[in-house]
Amino acid sequence: MTSTRVMHRSLRATPPVAVRGQGVWLYDQSGRAYLDGSGGAAVSCLGHNHPDVQAAMHAQIDALAYAHTSFFTTEPAEQLAARLVEDAPAGISHAYFVSGGSEAIEAALKMARQYYVETGQPERRHIVARRQSYHGNTLGALAVGGNAWRRAQFAPLLIPVEHVSPCYAYRDQQADETPEQYGERLAQELEQTFQRLGPETVMAFVAEPVVGATSGAVTAVPGYFRRIREVCDRHGVLLIADEVMCGMGRTGTLYAVEQEGIVPDLITIAKGLGGGYQPIGAVMAQERIVQAMQQGSGFFQHGHTYLGHAMACAASLAVQNVIRRDHLLERVRTQGDGLRRRLEHALGQHPHVGDIRGRGLFMGVELVQDRATKQTFDPALTLHARIKRHAMAQGLMVYPMGGTIDGRQGDHVLLAPPFIISDDELDQLTARLASAIDAAISEARA
Ligand code: PMP
């Protein structure tokens, strides 16, 4: 392609043209195949061109593509909400459908605020979130996120949000600290932050149960989220679990928080909700929050043109039906174990692999210059970007990122393949990744 009028992510290079997808494979214009090792950005949970999802989309478009939610609801929206609520943590009673993850975060923040206004606590306005987190790119969601690099140039435009430490055992758990003590220390930090702000002025604490786009599948230490829940409960602060990336089965349970033993007040979901077949996200809300608004003003003062889009809901319902019918949560657990075993075998002793982590089919690899000191590579080398380029050259999609570690950029690779990935494809994924990492490191050193 010689010229493009699409404003691509890179304003200097045009990516290959994707023309076809099948299962875990995407094909470009020249017929080259790419193994989708990251599901795009942890989106394509069923892989590409799933016949059942296609059939549901065809049926819906033959009936009705769209009806504005000021006037109508639709069958697919009602059925999808019922399905998501049925499988949700206790007390979650409603789904509010938007078009993606950032919109879900924006809606969750406004729902939290309206809940407090309508229950007579208008002084609650502070939002607390964590450093090294990502919650979206709209201004509100960007403000909540703690990714220093993404925020930097927009900082003057962002609403104030307090950031506390992430739960990142590989880097931050002290040598003389048990995981329980580390979790307790972080809960105390949250308590102190609430105290400093005035606990009666805090509205919400926002966290990803498994951190995705800034650190590469970082799970919390056992008990961390239970302690965080206690701190929030003590002060009446709403806990918003951002499951945009880690939710909808990615870690082996439909909602990632199920494995933490806590019930959030609001859960945001997107990505795997529609599996990439349509743009869709949602806020899953506790009954008492919905009831407060029902009994108060009677409506949620928020909305977009494409709320509850019928095509998006139909596609998403089909995705969720296939996950249930084909027992894909079990498959995520077995294939996830297989992926971990393969990564440990191929990269566990690698001199520049510091950590292999994650849960289910949501795995991260952290690259370091020195395993003993955990020293990161010079950020100017942009190792993560080189890994992505070498992986693409080998026909593999992985999601690389440079998170901010100790004020420096670190390098991670996130893996989130479709739930249907086979053993043979896991072998190919691991071999191609190992080879891309080696090629990228040699190139960076040259
Ligand atoms: N929250 C999390 C945890 C995410 O990973 C993302 C996307 N990477 C978002 C929110 C924003 O979602 P979207 O890109 O669909 O707006």
Measured CA to CA, the distance from residue 336 to residue 334 in angstroms comes to 5
Residue 407 has pLDDT above 80, yes or no: no
Kindly give the distance from the C-alpha atom of residue 241 to the centroid of ligand 1, in angstroms, as a whole number: 12
Neighbour tally for 46: CB within 10 Å: 26
Q: Which residue has the tokens 């498959």?
A: 331
CA of 178 to the centre of ligand 1 (A): 32
Q: Averaged over 237-246, what is the pLDDT?
A: 98
Question: Is the Cβ–Cβ distance between 332 and 359 less than 8 Å?
Answer: no
Ligand 1 contact via 213 beta carbon (within 6 Å): yes
Asked whether residue 153 falls in the same domain as residue 299, the answer is yes
pLDDT surpassing 90 at residue 148: no
Mutate to test the pocket of ligand 1, among 134, 147, 218, 269 (most ligand atoms within 8 A of CB): 134
The answer to whether the CB of 381 is under 6 A from ligand 1 is: no
- Is the Cβ atom of 242 under 6 angstroms away from ligand 1? yes
Q: Structure tokens of 399? A: 């999601």
Q: Is 269 in the pocket of ligand 1 (CB under 6 A)?
A: no
How many Å lie between the centroid of ligand 1 and the Cα of residue 176?
35
CA distance 78 to 55: 19
Largest CA distance in the chain: 66
Alpha carbons 237 and 229: distance in angstroms, whole number: 9
C-beta 244 within 6 A of ligand 1: yes
User: Which two tokens mark 101?
Assistant: 């993850």
Predicted confidence (pLDDT) per residue in 2-24, tens digit:
578 999 999 998 999 999 999 99
| Together in a domain, 338 and 224 | no
Residue 404 has pLDDT above 80, yes or no: no
Confirm whether 213 is domain-assigned.
Answer: yes
Instruction: Classify residue 77: in a domain, yes or no.
Output: yes
Residues 85 and 128 in one domain: yes
Which pLDDT band, with edges at 50, 70 and 90, does 147 fall under? Answer: confident
- CA-based R_g, the chain, Å: 21
Residue whose tokens read 């875990």: 24
Contacts of 12 (CB under 8 A, 6+ apart): none
Q: What is the pLDDT of residue 237?
A: 98
Per the DSSP assignment, residues forming a β-bridge with 267 are 241, 284
* Helix, strand, coil % in the chain, rounded to nearest 5: 45, 20, 40
For residue 154, what is the DSSP state? G
pLDDT value at residue 405: 65
Atom of ligand 1 nearest to the CA of 246: 3
**Residue 41's domain is classified under what CATH number?**
3.90.1150.10
d(CA 177, CA 233): 26
Rounded to two decimals, the ipTM of the complex is 0.99
Q: Is the distance from the beta carbon of residue 212 to the nearest atom of ligand 1 less than 6 Å?
A: yes
Overall average pLDDT of the 119-139 stretch: 97
- Express as a percent the part of the chain with pLDDT over 70: 98
The sign of the CA dihedral 202, 307, 253, 25 is: negative
Atom index in ligand 1 nearest the CA of residue 136 equals 11
- On whether residue 127 sits in a domain, the answer given is yes
The CATH code of the domain that includes 154 is: 3.40.640.10
- Ligand 1 nearest-atom number relative to CA 243: 3
DSSP 8-state class, residue 217:
S
Residue in the block written with tokens 């608004």 = 293
Which of 308, 326, 344 terminates a domain? The answer is 326
Ligand 1 center from residue 294 Cα (angstroms): 29
Distance, C-alpha 262 to centroid of its chain: 18
Say if residues 401 and 414 touch (Cβ distance below 8 Å): yes
Q: Is the CB of 134 under 6 A from ligand 1?
A: yes
Tokens of 215: 């650190």
- How buried is residue 216: exposed, middle or buried, by Cβ count under 10 Å (0-12/13-18/19+)? buried
In the reported structure, the alpha carbon of residue 129 is separated from the centroid of ligand 1 by a whole-number distance in angstroms of: 15
Q: Residue 211's beta-bridge partner residues?
A: 218
pLDDT, one tens digit per residue, over 271-281 is 999 999 999 99
Question: Do 79 and 206 fall into the same domain?
Answer: yes
pLDDT at residue 406, as a whole number? 64
Across 137-155, average pLDDT: 93
Return the pLDDT at 77: 98
- Which domain-ending residue is among 326, 341, 373? 326
- Nearest-atom number in ligand 1 for the CA of 138 is 16
Please tell me the distance between residue 306's alpha carbon and the centre of ligand 1 in angstroms.
18
* Amino acid (one-letter) located at 353: V
Task: Look at residue 13 and tell me if it is in a domain.
Answer: no
pLDDT one-digit tens code per residue, 72-98 = 999 999 999 999 999 999 999 999 999
Cα separation of 318 and 53, whole Å?
A: 5
Range of the domain at 417: 18-50+327-445
Of ligand 1's atoms, which has the minimum distance to the CA of residue 245?
5
Q: How many domains does the chain have?
A: 2
